Amino acid sequence: MPPKVQQKSKEQKMAAAMAGGKGKKKKWSKGKARDKVDNKVLMSKEQDERLHSEVPKMKLITVSTVVEKLKISGGVARRALRVLEEEGKIRAVLVSQSQRIYTRNIAEEEEEE
């Protein structure tokens, strides 16, 4: 049999209960901070050349992929994609209110070859 443990008196139990509420409060985390991206609002000559050379070769073309690749703002990327579509270099696959998905224009590439 284990040895007997002496129980605390009522006063000791009450004092322990009163002192227990004074622990440290939980600190809330600030959340994960995203790095601020500094995308350009005007296209440079070099970015325009990259747009016309690299983007029509991509299989999946969205506003966000162009923003990541060329480091331009979303509005500039949307207009650039619209221009490329009018020129016939890319074609729209899905057009909805919130998202436009393009792909390279394969039919045109086959005609050139």
Looking at residue 81, its pLDDT comes to: 94
List, in sequence order, every residue forming a beta bridge with 19; answer none if it has no partner: none
What is the pTM for the complete model shown? 0.64
Are 102 and 62 in contact, with CB atoms under 8 Å apart?
yes
Are 60 and 69 in contact, with CB atoms under 8 Å apart?
no
Q: What single-letter DSSP state applies at residue 62?
A: -
Reported as a single tens digit per residue, the pLDDT across 59-99 is 999 999 999 999 999 999 999 999 999 999 999 999 999 89
Q: What mean pLDDT, rounded, does the chain reach?
A: 84
CA–CA dist 8, 31 (Å, integer): 44
Reported as a single tens digit per residue, the pLDDT across 13-71 is 877 777 765 566 777 777 777 777 788 899 899 999 999 999 999 999 999 999 999 99
